[in-house]
Amino acid sequence: MQSFLQAPGQAPGAGFDEGDMSRFLAIPAQGPWRAWHDFAARMRQTPMALAIRVEGRDYTYRELGERALALAAEIGARETPDSRGVTAIYADRSIESYAGVLAALMLGHAYVPLNPIFPDLRNRLIVTLSGASFLVSSTQARARAEAILEETAGVGLVAGLPAPAPLPERRHDNPFAYILFTSGSTGQPKGVPIRHDNLHAYLVAANQVADFGPEDRFSQNFDLTFDVSVHDLFIAWRAGGQLMVPSARDLERPADYVWRDRVTCWFSVPSLGQKMSLQGALVPGALSQLRLSFFVGEALPLALARAWQRATCQRVENWYGPTEATIVCLRYRLPEPGQTVQAPLDLTPIGACLPGMRALVLDEAGQPVAPGGMGELLVAGPQVAEGYLNDPERTARAFVRLPGEDGIWYRTGDRVVVAAPDELHFVDRMDNQIKIRGYRVEIGEIEATIRKLTDGCNAVVVPLPLKSANPTALVAAVEGWRGDDAALHDRVKAVLPAYMVPSAFRHFDEFPRNGSGKADRPRIGELVAEPQTERKPAARKPANLKSAPAQTSPAAPKDAAPPMVPIRKFLVDTAMRINPALSRAAILEAVNLMDAGMDSLAFTEFALTIEKTYGIPLDQDQVFRLSEMPVARLVRFVKKHQEQAEAEAPQPAARQKKAPGKAAKQTGKADQATDAKARKAQKTLDIRARRVIECLTHLPAFLETAPHPLALFFGSSGTMNAISTTVAEEEAQKRGSPVTAINFGTASLSNLGTAELVLHACEVIRRSGRPVAFAVFELEPSELSTLPYPAHSEIVDKYLAGHFRLGKVRSGDTRSRWAPEWGGDLGPLARPDTPEDTAPDEEDVTAGAGWIKKREREDRDTFLGKRDFIPMEIEIWLTAWRAIAGLTDNCTAFVHPIRAEKVGTPDLADPGNRFSALLRRITDSTGTQVVLPAEFGLVPGDFRDYNHTNRSTGPMKLTTRLVGAALDRIGR
């Protein structure tokens, strides 16, 4: 590794031969434009004009140019025939950084910026991948630059500003002006080389839409590793203005630096504007010297854009563009105050293309999206790069040719809405989408809702566990907000489906930022995932002395003798591992874990962990009872089984039982108090019954506003999960028979409990006088059989008689709610075109759970007709059917969905098949054929477990099939 330091006492850049300098900087009359040409022209025309302020000092075009020439001379003198036309720049906001950019370009090199906040290993990798032959750094960064170049052969280091020397002949004319490296999905940075003609096309277009001039002073808020910094440098020098480089301290109080340095043209990410808003800097008129303000790099909240407009009383624009399309390719100018802006997600539109660029929005089928539609944004034009550096596979995926379209189109990976042919709205990244508990969730939609409800405060939603393919919880980080979490939770819940509502909110005075000045989402996620400091509840020592392995993995070897922890700590830690959004205090204070915020699938995993860790065989009835217990009772449940196991084990010959001490007596009192609290809580309905009671409560008002004849869906969990009221209404509308659909399906009711709900709902509907277009009633064979269905209840009549009360419940489990805005549906559906959008298969979570397998076998035997059916249960079902038939002649019955390959196909022609006999009894009594699962058209990808559909493709298919059958009957 070579190194060159400035000679002591030598004035940087002094002593150049004017003729030599003129020769080297001569711009050819013919030939392609190069990125240094504009600066060289200004250096010749207005040498004493100020070009840059950096590190508190002003430099003229002449002074900055001479420093660049000194570096160019040094690099040129050390070039060899093997040197490549690429120079890396250690971009530490020093004068050497900016002079180094110009020096590289003057030599015909492409420049590659290295970020000081990156680890040496990453910067070393960038040097290697780019093929750089030299690295320019400031004197103060020399040691760091040397560390980067360790084990990197053939790369020369130029640290500090050298003395002037004869200028060389150019060995290179690299077609690329710069190469930027962005994060790659594989973990290796991906290089984006931008040609001189790409940059020139951008500069020409930008100057057509904005009147930059020599009197302007341009902000330089971006690190040189961020592509929009290229705008700052070359727009400023093309206009003959001055570039104002703030220090790190300046960026802590940006408004002060704007006034001190008399900045007139502002360019930043919205996060920096949000910081100024939190600092109270955006009062009306406070930034009036800014005549042009542009935001880029992140979605721009409309509230922030309007606040900035009031603070500047000048022009504000939202600019959009990926690195691969050279800085910016679309822009939107905020209209005058008082004029309306359409902003569905409270985000400023990204507008229309710069001159020369083209945009296309395609749906998932690759077809253009009509106005009002949403899809992926593709851009084409002279600013679009050729591809990724030495990466043909990634290039082929992102840079594509389209049938009937000219040129190369870059797939941005951004989802946009086509509000009008010349107005696009950014939604979010195509990959900023997760699946949680089987639902496809757009993180951007949640963040937009929170911004709107917190008066524009920035929000980042973090799925937990971090980096999990199947997150179980959402936590929202909110910047600069001081409101009440519970109130915000309720307001978000009133707008979004329950599965999109964050379980918790974390307050940040200010978000951490990355090297580009954007909110650092990975770091925010790490901070959110850190355990929260909370008050510790009083301990009950003896009750918790029985221990469990600290390791939570159920696969831990039994003879490994891991460290031991108290039962309560193990149970609480396990609950927080399964749902990281739950706090320790919420778990300990809740009536049960469902009340604390767990959903049913999460509790299944929790129960399985108890079963495997403590060796306790569970059945379905026990699991349901565990879900109703507070933590104290769960501890006693585990302790009891441990004591039974010890009593059954061989005992030593002489074993003396100790008398209970004072601590045990205190524990007994504490447990008695807990029991009293639990008994008192039992007067409140269990979390799973809330859906039924909310249905009873909201139904009358819902019926009053129903605009169309009703479509009724009754049943158990099969109806609750597999029927979409939205799909039902859309399908009926397509067929010319609009309906208002209602989903009465509930998972927690027995056959009798369902019948109670049916009878009450039918009476309410009858009294309302609302017409009923059709009704669908689910037949759940297991509910009618001798198979014991544990803990399923009948609560409607008891609730109406005043035996229960409806208490406040914090659960985020959508199956515990009946939302009138969705007609009882569990919420809006994701609608993929591929079957991959399925919920996490419960079998994956519960593999090896004996009670799950036993339940599956029992249901299979019932479906295959190997189990008896109870005449009284059949009559109860028929009684409910007759109540439904009293509202409409158009009734359809269907069998609870079930995965055929899991349970096989029943031989209905077998006279000994009891299920076949049940169907004949139902058909004879109702006069209608029962629709069987084989007729639904469902495939394995439509299910989340063996007998429940997912929340996307399953309901789409089943609901469409049943609505079609009902409306076909009307047509006949």
Q: What is the residue-wise DSSP string for 665-686?
A: HHHHHHHHHHHHHHHHHTTBPP
Q: How far apart are CA 752 and CA 775, in angstroms?
A: 19
From the centroid of its chain, how far is CA 282? Answer: 30
Q: How far apart are CA 708 and CA 770, in angstroms?
A: 9
The position carrying tokens 């929000």 is: 459
Q: What angle do CA 859, 861, 864 make, to 5 degrees?
A: 110
Q: How far apart are CA 158 and CA 75, in angstroms?
A: 8
Q: How far apart are CA 693 and CA 805, in angstroms?
A: 9
Look at 85-89, 194-198, 455-459 and tell me which has the smallest mean pLDDT: 455-459
The CATH topology of domain 437-530 is GMP Synthetase; Chain A, domain 3 (3.30.300)
From the centroid of its chain, how far is CA 825? Answer: 23
Q: How far apart are CA 41 and CA 47, in angstroms?
A: 9
Dihedral pair phi/psi, residue 416, rounded to 5°: -135, 160
Calculate the average pLDDT of the chain.
82
Side-by-side strand order, sheet with 50-54: 57-60, 50-54, 242-244, 217-219, 265-268, 292-295, 315-320, 330-333, 352-353
DSSP letter (8 states) at residue 185: T
Domain with CATH 3.30.300.30 in the chain: 437-530
Q: Residue 657 has what pLDDT?
A: 40
Asked if 109 contacts 370 with a C-beta cutoff of 8 angstroms, the reply is no
Residue-wise pLDDT for 503-516, tens only, equals 888 889 889 887 66
DSSP letter (8 states) at residue 467: T
Q: How far apart are CA 32 and CA 529, in angstroms?
A: 52
Q: How far apart are CA 919 and CA 212, in angstroms?
A: 80
Q: Residue 902 has what pLDDT?
A: 62
Report the largest interatomic distance among the alpha carbons of the chain, rounded to a whole angstrom.
109
Measured over the CA atoms of residue 703, residue 709, residue 715 and residue 719, the dihedral's sign is negative
Asked if 830 contacts 951 with a C-beta cutoff of 8 angstroms, the reply is yes
Q: How far apart are CA 317 and CA 341, in angstroms?
A: 13
Q: Residue 596 has what pLDDT?
A: 75
Structure token digits, residue 281: 């800097």
Q: Residue 660 has what pLDDT?
A: 41
Q: Comparing C-alpha atoms, which of 346, 629, 596, 630 is closest to residue 473?
A: 596
What would the mean pLDDT of 106-120 be, rounded to a whole number?
Answer: 92
Q: Residue 840 has what pLDDT?
A: 39
Structure token digits, residue 851: 């009670």
Q: Residue 333 has what pLDDT?
A: 96
Q: Comparing C-alpha atoms, which of 954, 512, 461 is closest to residue 719?
A: 954
Residue 722 contacts by C-beta under 8 Å, 6 or more apart in sequence?
897, 948, 949, 954, 955, 958, 959
Q: How far apart, in Å, do the first and last CA atoms of the chain sit?
A: 87
β partners of residue 266: 293
CATH architecture of the domain 687-839+869-971 equals 3-Layer(aba) Sandwich (3.40)
Structure token digits, residue 642: 């441990």
Domain with CATH 1.10.1200.10 in the chain: 534-644
Q: Comparing C-alpha atoms, which of 416, 439, 440 is closest to residue 428?
A: 416
Whether residue 554 is predicted with pLDDT greater than 50 in this model: the reply is no
Which pLDDT band, with edges at 50, 70 and 90, does 952 fall under? confident
Q: What angle do CA 259, 263, 267 make, to 5 degrees?
A: 120
From the centroid of its chain, how far is CA 649? Answer: 51
Q: Residue 849 has what pLDDT?
A: 55
Residue ranges of alpha helices (H) inside 735-806 are 751-768, 781-784, 796-800
Look at 195-204, 296-305, 464-473, 840-849 and tell me which has the smallest mean pLDDT: 840-849
Residue-wise pLDDT for 660-690, tens only, equals 444 444 444 444 444 444 444 334 455 556 7
Helix (H, G, I), strand (E, B) or coil at 833: coil
Stated as kind and residue range, the H or E segment containing 238 is helix 229-239
Domain with CATH 3.40.50.980 in the chain: 1-174
Look at 87-96, 218-227, 405-414, 424-433 and tell me which has the smallest mean pLDDT: 424-433
Look at 287-296, 386-395, 447-456 and tell me which has the smallest mean pLDDT: 447-456
pTM of the model: 0.55
The position carrying tokens 């129960």 is: 607
Structure token digits, residue 297: 């790099």
Q: Comparing C-alpha atoms, which of 404, 409, 394 is closest to residue 325?
A: 409
Q: Residue 954 has what pLDDT?
A: 84
Segments of 443-496 assigned E as strands: 459-464, 473-479
Q: Residue 15 has what pLDDT?
A: 67
Asked if 837 contacts 439 with a C-beta cutoff of 8 angstroms, the reply is no
Look at 169-178, 684-693, 741-750, 870-879 and tell me which has the smallest mean pLDDT: 684-693
DSSP letter (8 states) at residue 272: H
Asked if 305 contacts 295 with a C-beta cutoff of 8 angstroms, the reply is yes
Asked if 275 contacts 254 with a C-beta cutoff of 8 angstroms, the reply is yes
Whether residue 402 is predicted with pLDDT greater than 80 in this model: the reply is yes
Whether residue 326 is predicted with pLDDT greater than 70 in this model: the reply is yes
Q: How far apart are CA 281 and CA 451, in angstroms?
A: 19
Q: Residue 188 has what pLDDT?
A: 63
Residue-wise pLDDT for 256-295, tens only, equals 999 999 999 999 988 889 889 888 899 999 999 999 999 9
Q: How far apart are CA 697 and CA 408, in angstroms?
A: 58
Q: What is the dihedral of CA 830, 836, 838, 844, to 10 degrees?
A: -160
The CATH topology of domain 534-644 is 1.10.1200
Whether residue 553 is predicted with pLDDT greater than 80 in this model: the reply is no
Radius of gyration for the alpha carbons in the chain, expressed in angstroms and rounded: 34
Which pLDDT band, with edges at 50, 70 and 90, does 806 fall under? low
Residue 622 contacts by C-beta under 8 Å, 6 or more apart in sequence?
851
> Higher-confidence residue: 1 or 161?
161
Domain 1-174 CATH assignment equals 3.40.50.980? yes
Q: How far apart are CA 265 and CA 220, in angstroms?
A: 10
Q: Comparing C-alpha atoms, which of 46, 65, 98, 137 is closest to residue 244?
A: 98
Q: How far apart are CA 151 and CA 167, in angstroms?
A: 30
The position carrying tokens 């504000």 is: 316
Q: Residue 503 has what pLDDT?
A: 81
Q: Residue 829 has what pLDDT?
A: 59
